[in-house]
Chains A and B, each alone.
Chain A
């Protein structure tokens, strides 16, 4: 009964716009009051334990490194570098958009930052070159979903915190799904661009220009490589690797690109604190919720039901995907991870799924939610840049999202897509 009240209160608070952290906290307190008021004595300790983790210190540092890289003129350089890559294939700005998002995702670990940075430059550029506004915004928001799949990824860090999975293995597990999304979206963009005769980037470049663009771009690409290699091969912990990435961003911004200003660094400090707190406090309050679920043995009950019922495994997987897509439509990525993982990871473990694969299904599935109305953070940013309605952008992004859906199905039904690379470590 207390559990039913807790869920009802949670849904009511969420629907009425109460922030996720306080909705979870408020419903958790109601549960404690109804079931055993003495449980309240453990309230602060549980919230504290949800934020007390050395691994997750990596999150603000990755955020800040991405933020500094962005202020260092990284986006323009990445776009030029991507142009260099599509030129031999007679590609256009559509393909540039997808490739730049793949690399950018590896630097910031955030899809929203990707839409904001790349969209701010490429959407006006593409429109000026004659690309339809719908296609331009669609490809920008859809390709930015790779930001959280390609490592390093902030949602993966959150998942590592709640599941206990290795950050290094999670990062490397995200490589194949992330690259697959990129390849599928690139193929679609290429075919559509050829069919609709979108402009190709064929302006000649001097050897000097090519070398300069390649040098500046590869210095930026080096950052995600540095992170993946150091974390995945156990050379550094996630937090240390984030520290190295931050130092690299500072050196690149101040000494190499020379576009970073002290003012940018100071601004990014406060921004990092606020962004970190808005995410981590959800992690804290979720511990109360998770604890209530454990007390009521909810994951066990679901697992027992699934194991004793005649529902085939493939149907369970489809239902899991649908649940992730549905929740991702209404909730932001981090709250979804914090709510879904504690309930369904123990269930799926009992059904034989590895935690790395479950993490990848979550991340790939929830990335789609960033571009689905009504709650799609990338969609909102895309709407702000292009001046289009979110429904129009969603329709334009739909073909690209089918690429994401295909990868989600692959990750769900072919475990080796997530598990092959980590198994080599």
Chain B
């Protein structure tokens, strides 16, 4: 199981990195095309926006795994032992519940309007929207993984993004 979790972690790390790389290169390319060749493509702008939305949804699922979502932790920071465990399970259950609603209703949404074709790219919107159910399933999987991590050993995710470059100094006693 741990190999599968590691594999999924690695896969989505690569996918997200590639998506940001394409987004960044794409925006730089649009600047060049517009200023030097006076060319701008509506479909390309649409593609970049959809890429950005996909980064948001898939990245949000990865944030569950890596515990990078923004929260107020004053109360739960004080919890220890069983209280800490219960509060962690509570948070993960909320992730699962919200993601489950999103999964069910995004499938209905895609069934209802997914066939509509984008006027600029000619691509059915359903292709773009499909990232929502995919991200919902991944969110549920990661929330379950986090719950399992309370009872059995699972691989550590990569964390520490915001303050990882910090050099610590000790306060004199």
Contact B48 A54 (CB under 8 A): yes
Q: How far is the CA of A374 from the CA of B162 in the complex (A)?
A: 18
Contact A16 B87 (CB under 8 A): yes
Using A16-B75, A16-B87 as known contacts, say yes or no to A41 and B23 having CB atoms under 8 A apart.
no
Interface size in chain A (residues, C-beta < 8 A): 80
Q: How far is the CA of A334 from the CA of B71 in the complex (A)?
A: 12
Of residues 114 through 131 on chain A, the ones whose CB sits less than 8 Å from some CB of chain B are 116-117, 119-121, 123-124, 127
One digit per residue, 1 when the CB lies within 8 angstroms of any chain A CB and 0 when it does not, for chain B 105-116 equals 110110011000
Q: How far is the CA of A331 from the CA of B169 in the complex (A)?
A: 28
Is A247 interfacial (CB 8 A cutoff)?
A: yes
Is A80 interfacial (CB 8 A cutoff)?
A: no
Q: Which residues of B contact A57 (CB under 8 A)?
A: 23, 27, 48-49, 52
Q: Which residues of B contact A332 (CB under 8 A)?
A: 70
* Nearest A residue (CB) for B125: A48
Interface size in chain B (residues, C-beta < 8 A): 67
Cβ contact of A277, chosen from B13, B62, B72, B94, cutoff 8 A: B62
B111 to chain A, nearest CB (A): 11
Q: How far is the CA of A275 from the CA of B68 in the complex (A)?
A: 8
B67 to chain A, nearest CB (A): 9
B100 to chain A, nearest CB (A): 10
* Nearest A residue (CB) for B18: A269
Q: Which residues of B contact A26 (CB under 8 A)?
A: 94, 97-98
Q: How far is the CA of A380 from the CA of B60 in the complex (A)?
A: 23
**Interface-located stretch among A186-194, A211-219, A236-244:** A236-244
Cβ contact of B94, chosen from A18, A123, A271, A274, cutoff 8 A: A18
Q: How far is the CA of A18 from the CA of B87 in the complex (A)?
A: 9
**Interface-located stretch among A82-90, A150-158, A292-300, A381-389:** A381-389
Using A44-B106, A60-B52, A375-B74 as known contacts, say yes or no to A278 and B171 having CB atoms under 8 A apart.
no
Q: Which residues of A contact B112 (CB under 8 A)?
A: 41
Cβ contact of A269, chosen from B20, B75, B167, B169, cutoff 8 A: B20
Contact B169 A127 (CB under 8 A): yes
Q: Which residues of B contact A54 (CB under 8 A)?
A: 45, 48-49
Contact B17 A277 (CB under 8 A): no
Q: Is the interface of A mostly helix, strand, loop or mixed?
A: helix
Interface centre among B59, B74, B112, B132, by most chain A C-beta atoms within 10 angstroms, is: B59
One digit per residue, 1 when the CB lies within 8 angstroms of any chain B CB and 0 when it does not, for chain A 1-42 equals 000000000000111111111110110010000000000110
Is B80 interfacial (CB 8 A cutoff)?
A: no
Q: Which residues of A contact B66 (CB under 8 A)?
A: 274
Contact A273 B20 (CB under 8 A): yes
Is A43 interfacial (CB 8 A cutoff)?
A: yes
Contact A44 B102 (CB under 8 A): yes
Q: How far is the CA of A46 from the CA of B45 in the complex (A)?
A: 21
Cβ contact of B70, chosen from A45, A271, A282, cutoff 8 A: A282
Cβ contact of B31, chosen from A45, A240, A330, A384, cutoff 8 A: A240
Q: Which residues of B contact A271 (CB under 8 A)?
A: 161
* Nearest B residue (CB) for A19: B69
Contact B162 A116 (CB under 8 A): yes
Contact B27 A273 (CB under 8 A): no
Is B6 interfacial (CB 8 A cutoff)?
A: no
Is B90 interfacial (CB 8 A cutoff)?
A: yes
Interface residues of A (CB under 8 A from B): 13-23, 25-26, 29, 40-41, 43-45, 47-48, 51-54, 56-57, 60-61, 64, 70, 112, 116-117, 119-121, 123-124, 127, 133, 236, 239-240, 242-244, 246-247, 266, 269-282, 284, 330-332, 334-335, 374-375, 377, 380-381, 384-388
